[in-house]
């Protein structure tokens, strides 16, 4: 028999109140949408699109309060908040999700996605929906796949053109086993840090570099603390739109449909924002003094990271990796 916590019951009552008849004007149900980048970012664009769509669909019944710039903690903190009901919604990278749902790591294998069109076909299709469905086992509701972008490398030491150039370099990665092993195989010394710690670590020189999509580099003015950029595109980084199951279970079927539709609006807004920033961002980074390596020998890099596939493909569903590769 399914049981419900007091938190779920009270949440359900609170969400149902605006639907009561009698013409009584009730305040909108406020929900926090937390993310780590600043409001002036592709995450902010996604968050605004989500908020506007929910307000439109619900006729003001729900109000989304954006909580940017790690106002409610780092990504893992927020995901744990969703599980216990202290946070309602988030936009998050896949890095910390894999700690809860290991199959998500399949998306993080290096040099797996050919381009943005390939990534969108995977995430918007059967594979992406199967992965979102797995969130529920951890008290989370995966609503949609938004976008972060292809990840590139920056550092303060030297230009990186081959894996040898990375040898011994301290590189921040997400808290993600596949990313950590990727950089170890490339000869670097990976440092798994929450993004909330990265800027200070770069400023203090405790790490030499980091890797992130162009929109994250530009919105954080990375040129102020890093001299070199290499357009490695080594990993495609999606963003998940996630809701607490505690709040989801308190919604009617119609309301759940609103939230899914709003998540799709957020996904589209983020992709449009990333496309715009990708087109302009590299030149902006160059104009602000960064030395840019635009082309690398991809065969060298792919050969160097092959042990990552050999080590993890079976553990993280090798069949899924093949399905991703074969998606057209």
pLDDT tens string 174-194: 888 899 999 999 999 999 998
Give residue-wise pLDDT tens across range 288-326. Answer: 999 999 999 999 999 999 999 999 888 876 789 999 999
Residue scoring higher pLDDT (94 or 251): 251
What mean pLDDT value characterizes the chain?
91
Condensed to tens digits (0 to 9), the pLDDT of residues 205-254 reads: 999 999 999 999 999 999 999 999 999 999 999 999 999 999 999 999 99
22 has a pLDDT exceeding 80:
no
Tokens of 303: 């050969």
Tell me the C-alpha distance between 68 and 47, whole Å: 9
More confident residue, 231 or 23: 231
Q: Average of pLDDT values for 247-265? A: 98
DSSP for 52-92, written as a single string: HHHHHHHTTSEEEEEE-TTTT--HHHHHHHHHHTS--EEEE
The band of 265, judged by pLDDT with boundaries at 50, 70 and 90, is very high
pTM greater than 0.75: yes
- Which residues are within 8 A (CB) of 318 and not within 5 positions of it... i.e. 6 or more apart? none
Q: What is the pLDDT of residue 12?
A: 45
Q: What is the pLDDT of residue 24?
A: 45
pLDDT mean over 262-275: 97
**Residue 9: pLDDT band with limits 50, 70, 90:** very low
Range scoring the smallest mean pLDDT among 21-30, 72-81, 181-190: 21-30
Task: Classify each residue of 227-253 as buried b or exposed e, where b means 16 or more C-beta atoms within 10 Å of its C-beta.
Answer: bbbbebbbbbbbbbbbbbbbbbbbbee
Average confidence (pLDDT) over 260-287: 96
pLDDT attached to residue 26: 58
Interior angle at CA 233, CA 232 and CA 238, nearest 5: 150
Compute the average pLDDT of residues 75-80: 96
> For residue range 40-58, what is the model confidence (pLDDT) as tens digits?
999 999 999 999 999 999 9
């Amino acid at each position: 028999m399914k049981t419900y916590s007091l938190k779920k019951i009270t949440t359900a009552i609170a969400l149902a109140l605006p639907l009561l008849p009698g013409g009584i004007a009730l305040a909108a149900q406020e929900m926090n949408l937390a993310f780590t980048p600043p409001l002036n970012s592709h995450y902010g664009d996604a968050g605004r699109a989500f908020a506007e769509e929910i307000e439109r669909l619900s006729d003001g019944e729900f109000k989304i309060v954006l909580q940017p710039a790690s106002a409610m903690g780092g990504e893992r903190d927020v995901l744990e908040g969703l599980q216990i009901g202290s946070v309602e919604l988030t936009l998050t990278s896949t890095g910390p999700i894999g700690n809860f749902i290991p199959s998500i790591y399949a998306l993080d294998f290096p040099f797996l996605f050919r381009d943005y069109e390939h990534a969108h076909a995977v995430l918007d299709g059967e594979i992406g929906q199967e992965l979102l469905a797995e969130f529920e086992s951890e008290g989370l509701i995966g609503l949609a796949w938004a976008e972060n972008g292809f990840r590139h490398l920056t550092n303060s030491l030297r230009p990186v053109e081959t894996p040898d150039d990375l040898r011994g370099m301290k590189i921040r990665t997400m808290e993600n086993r596949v990313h950590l092993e990727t950089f170890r195989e490339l000869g670097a010394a990976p440092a798994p840090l929450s993004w909330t710690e990265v800027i200070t670590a770069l400023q203090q020189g405790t790490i030499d570099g980091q890797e992130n999509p162009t929109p994250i580099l530009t919105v954080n003015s990375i040129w102020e603390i890093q001299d070199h950029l290499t357009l490695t595109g080594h990993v495609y980084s999606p963003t998940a739109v996630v809701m607490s199951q505690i709040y989801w279970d308190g919604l009617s079927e119609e309301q759940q449909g609103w939230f899914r539709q709003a998540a799709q609006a957020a996904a589209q807004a983020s992709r449009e924002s990333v496309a715009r920033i990708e087109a302009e961002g590299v030149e902006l980074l160059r104009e602000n003094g960064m030395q840019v390596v635009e082309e690398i020998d991809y065969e060298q890099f792919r050969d160097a990271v092959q042990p990552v596939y050999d080590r993890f493909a079976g553990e993280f569903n090798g069949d899924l990796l093949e399905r991703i590769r074969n998606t057209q």
